[in-house]
Amino acid sequence: MRFVRVMLLAAGLFSLPAMAAGDAAAGKEKSAGCMACHGAEGKVKVPMYPNLAGQNALYLQHALQAYKKGERNGGQAEVMKAYVSGLSDADIADLAAYYAGLKP
């Protein structure tokens, strides 16, 4: 049963749209606006916000794209939507690469 769940999860991951790997150094430069909520180096001080450090890059890209498209709502979604609305796909990939590369 566990094997079936793992295979279904893997199949779901491969069905996500292909996203280019980002530039972590560029992402670090672009992360200043993230720090107010997500903390320096992706570690929060306020528990209502998620830590980004060490998060999976593909997940981060998918999440940021979903905020940009208005597919996520509730919580701080409107704040995130406003922030990501001006980000390009390359900006999103860069930020994802930066946060994925940080130690959790």
Q: What CATH number did the domain enclosing 65 receive? A: 1.10.760.10
pLDDT digits (tens, 9 = 90+) for 16-39: 445 568 999 999 999 999 999 999
What CA–CA distances, in Å, run from 83 to 33, 38, 67, 89?
Answer: 8, 13, 9, 13
pLDDT band at 8 (very low <50, low <70, confident <90, very high): very low
Q: Token digits for 73? A: 């709502």
Tally of domains within the chain: 1
The number of residues making up the chain comes to: 104
Q: Tell me which residue range forms the domain holding 82.
A: 24-101
Q: Is residue 65 part of a domain?
A: yes
Q: What is the pTM of this model?
A: 0.80
| 63 vs 37: CA distance, rounded Å | 16
